[in-house]
Structure 1
Amino acid sequence: MSQIDIAKNYIRAAQSGDQAQLASLISPDVVWHQPGKNRFSGTHRGMSAVGAMLGGMMEVSGGTFTISRADHFMENDNWVAINIEFQAKREGVQLEQAGVDLLRIDNGQIVEVRLFSSDQALEDAFWGA
């Protein structure tokens, strides 16, 4: 399976909530760099920490946090860049913006994730401290 195929399978699994597929694609030792200055920001190491962070995002957003669009998958060595749009709702406020996800893939698994948001201040305000 190519790096692009792994990235596409990851996006599909994230969009559908397929936890088994995500577990097969993401290394248990993943290093996840969540941008910004909000309650979820920082470097999270291991699937346990990443799962807790993502679970918290789903809780805060009432289960509405999702990747609404993913396209332009681009590969450079063991990195894949993906143009995305993501959205969530919280207390009547809608977050909807573009971003870029960078996935480093090694031995068929995602071992590092770096995320970029088009309006980090807006995202920080949405998630809160």
Structure 2
Amino acid sequence: MEAKEIVASYFDALAKGDMQNALSSFTPETKWSQPGNNKFSGLKKNLDEIIKMFEGIMGDTAGNMTVRPNGEMKESGSFVAVPVWFTAKKGSISFDLGGMDLFEVKSGKIMHVWTFSDDQQVDDEFWGR
């Protein structure tokens, strides 16, 4: 499978709420770089830390956080860039924002993810410290 297909299958699994299949795209050593200055920001150094971040995000939003591709995926060697759209709600506060995710894929697995927000300040205010 090409890098783009690996990333597409990750997003397909996310869209179905199938976290087991989504996470099967990663290795135990996969890294995730989450931007900003909020409680989920920083480098996640392995799959366990990524899962803990996902669980925290879903806990904060009562499970209603969604992220989906919002345009054409671009591939360059082992890298895939994906414009994305995030939506979530916490109580009366909602979050509806675009961004970009960059995936590094090697040997059929996602090895590193970098996420970028269209407005990091809005992102940080929503997630808090």
TM over 0.5: yes
Q: Using the aligned pairs only, state the percent identity.
A: 32
Say whether the 8 Å CA contact 2:69–2:82 is kept in structure 1: no
1:26 aligns with 2:26: yes
CA distance in 2 between partners of 1:83 and 1:58 (Å): 21
CA distance in 1 between partners of 2:8 and 2:71 (Å): 9
1:6 aligns with 2:6: yes
Q: 1:69 to 1:104 in 2, by over 3 A?
A: closer
SS in 1 for 2:71: strand
Deviation at 1:70, TM superposition (A): 3.4
Mapping of residues 13-52 of structure 1, within 5 Å: 13-52=13-52
Say whether the 8 Å CA contact 2:100–2:116 is kept in structure 1: yes
CA distance in 1 between partners of 2:69 and 2:105 (Å): 21
AA matched with 1:112:
H
Match of 1:63 in 2: 63
Say whether the 8 Å CA contact 1:7–1:103 is kept in structure 2: yes
**Uncovered stretches (5+) of structure 1, i.e. residues with no partner:** none
Deviation at 1:68, TM superposition (A): 4.0
CA distance in 2 between partners of 1:22 and 1:28 (Å): 13
AA matched with 1:78:
S
CA distance in 2 between partners of 1:113 and 1:88 (Å): 20
Deviation at 1:90, TM superposition (A): 0.6
Match of 1:94 in 2: 94
CA distance in 2 between partners of 1:105 and 1:68 (Å): 19
SS in 1 for 2:82: strand
Say whether the 8 Å CA contact 1:69–1:86 is kept in structure 2: no
Match of 2:79 in 1: 79
Structure 1 outlier segments of 4+, above 4 Å? none
Query: Size of the alignment, in residue pairs?
Result: 129
Deviation at 1:69, TM superposition (A): 4.0
